[in-house]
Amino acid sequence: MSRELEDVSTPARLAQAGEGIGRDELALATRNHGLPLEALRYDVTPPGLHYVLTHYDIPYVPEDTSWALTMGGHVHRPLRWGMDDLRAFPAVTTRVTMECAGNGRARLEPRPVSQPWLVEAVGTADWTGVPLRVLLAEAGIEDGAVDVVFTGADHGVERGVEQDYQRALPLGVAAGEEPEILVAYAMNGAPLPPQHGRPLRLIVPGWYGMAHVKWLHEITVTATPFTGFQQAVAYRIRQEPEEAGEPVTAIAPRALVIPPGFPDFMSRARVVRPGPVSLEGRAWSGTAPVESVEITTDDGRTRHETDLDGTTHRWGWTRWRFEWTAEPGEHHLSARATDADGNTQPLSQPWNRGGFANNLVQRIPVLCLTSDGTPHR
């Protein structure tokens, strides 16, 4: 750790009471982006609408011909694959809903100062690649291995620590079949876009985004637990800075509403006209399949079960629907997902210092006009 770097790379902090979003948070918000919520309509998110978070710069990889993935460490046969080698393996495609671990952070009080997501850091894609367990089997794991470390080509400094982005999975997860981890080279049938890891990334179905290492070029099997920055310092659930904390892993259940009606440009408030309004949205959970989505249109006074679409995609989101009859006045909508393990969304906000894995129910104010006239310009 460099003394000099500490000048530009300061410790994590919490915003003061009433402190607006700062220039640093805004600089992250203008380059990263969420899913515009109306894009929840798409079963598979078009790539430019899928949420993106990059810690450092997006590496520039215009051609993938010289890209190589190495596997080393605690293995019998260190290996190296070019992109054509990887594409020669039988390909697996999995539909995966991915969410940033920091989704919801900007709604917390006090607010952890970092990427300021409100609720939109999500997206669903069909990812194609080679199962990681196949690559691990080729290399042969030595006895005593505990972690598998993934290194991306993205390089930067964070909280004073210069680093390539690195994350690990426990060997049991890395070599597992449920979920089956992918080393992916295609998104929705096309080569990965630069911001999604071109040419190669990890896909860990059901886990928050920090696990899906982008611009992946090195896999190392270790005989000791990995203690890199993104594993041991960042992405831990803590109340106090000195705690070891719990690691962030599987995605907690969440439901989002496709915003009904039309928006105001600035406030993003929603406006509908009286009468039938089809409410639809998506729900997902990394911990177990979504079992129910409940909706309220009167700020919680009454709650209704919604209709779920059956889906054969365990790791993708589920669509839900509810027919509402809007009456003039102000309304507050909320949808709440529950999964088969009984995990559900809190109705009041839990808090942790990193702002991770927050799945507070979304609350959408809707103004229903008194006029039932047709829209005018």
Residue list 348-367, contact with a copy of itself (CB under 8 A): 367
Question: Within 10 A of 375 (CB to CB), how many other CB atoms are there?
Answer: 8
Q: Which of 17, 30, 90, 301 binds a copy of itself (CB under 8 A)?
A: 30
Q: Smallest Cα–Cα separation from 38: which of 211, 282, 206? A: 282
Q: Identify the residue whose tokens are 């990890």.
A: 202
Choose, by CB under 8 A, the member of 81, 117, 185, 320 that binds a copy of itself: 117
Closest CA to 157 of 294, 13, 4: 4
Give, in degrees to the nearest 5, the angle at Cα 48 between 282 and 234: 75
Which of 76, 189, 262, 325 is close enough to bind a copy of itself by CB under 8 A?
A: 262
Q: Name which of 163 and 292 has its Cβ closer to a copy of itself.
A: 163
Distance of alpha carbon 179 from alpha carbon 173, whole angstroms: 8
Residue 263 and residue 368: Cα distance in Å, rounded? 12
* H/E stretch holding 31: helix 23-31
CB of 292 to a copy of itself, least distance (A): 26
Task: In whole angstroms, give the CA distance from residue 70 to residue 72.
Answer: 6
Q: Does 28 bind a copy of itself (CB under 8 A)?
A: yes
Structure tokens belonging to residue 35: 């899913």
Side-chain-side CA neighbours of residue 86 (13 Å): 32
Q: By CB under 8 A, name the one of 41, 80, 303, 304 that touches a copy of itself.
A: 41
**Binding status of residue 102 toward a copy of itself by CB under 8 A:** no
Q: Which of residues 222-261 bind a copy of itself (CB under 8 A)?
A: 228, 259
Residues 306 to 335 in contact with a copy of itself, rule: CB under 8 A: none
Does 38 participate in binding a copy of itself (rule CB under 8 A)? yes
56 binds a copy of itself (CB under 8 A): yes
Query: Tokens at residue 169, please?
Result: 């999975």
d(CA 353, CA 312): 36
Q: Does 269 bind a copy of itself (CB under 8 A)?
A: yes
Least distance (Å) between residue 375 CB and a copy of itself: 6
149 touches 173 (CB < 8 A): no
Phi/psi at 30 (5° precision): -80, -25
Segment near a copy of itself (CB under 8 A); pick from 133-141, 163-171, 344-352, 354-362:
163-171
Q: Which stretch binds a copy of itself (CB under 8 A): 131-139, 244-252, 262-270, 314-322?
A: 262-270
- 176: contact with a copy of itself by CB under 8 A: no
Binders of a copy of itself among 195-224, rule CB under 8 A?
Answer: 195-196
Q: Number of residues in contact with a copy of itself, rule: CB under 8 A? A: 82
24 binds a copy of itself (CB under 8 A): yes
> How many CB atoms are located within 10 Å of the residue 35 CB?
22
Q: Rule CB under 8 A: say whether 21 interacts with a copy of itself.
A: yes
Q: Which stretch binds a copy of itself (CB under 8 A): 68-76, 111-119, 203-211, 285-293?
A: 111-119
Max Cα–Cα distance, the chain, nearest Å? 73
3-state secondary structure 42-59: CCCCCHHHCCECCCCCCC
Of 218 and 339, which CB lies nearer to a copy of itself in the complex structure? Answer: 218
Stretch that binds a copy of itself, among 22-30, 90-98, 277-285, 301-309 (CB under 8 A): 22-30
Q: Does residue number 72 form part of the binding site for a copy of itself (CB under 8 A)?
A: no
CB atoms within 10 A of CB 34: 22
Query: Considering the rule CB under 8 A, would residue 63 count as an interface residue with a copy of itself?
Result: no
**What count of residues does the chain have?**
377
Q: Does 166 bind a copy of itself (CB under 8 A)?
A: yes
Any contact of residue 189 with a copy of itself (CB under 8 A)?
Answer: no
* Residue 4 vs 242, nearer CB to a copy of itself: 4
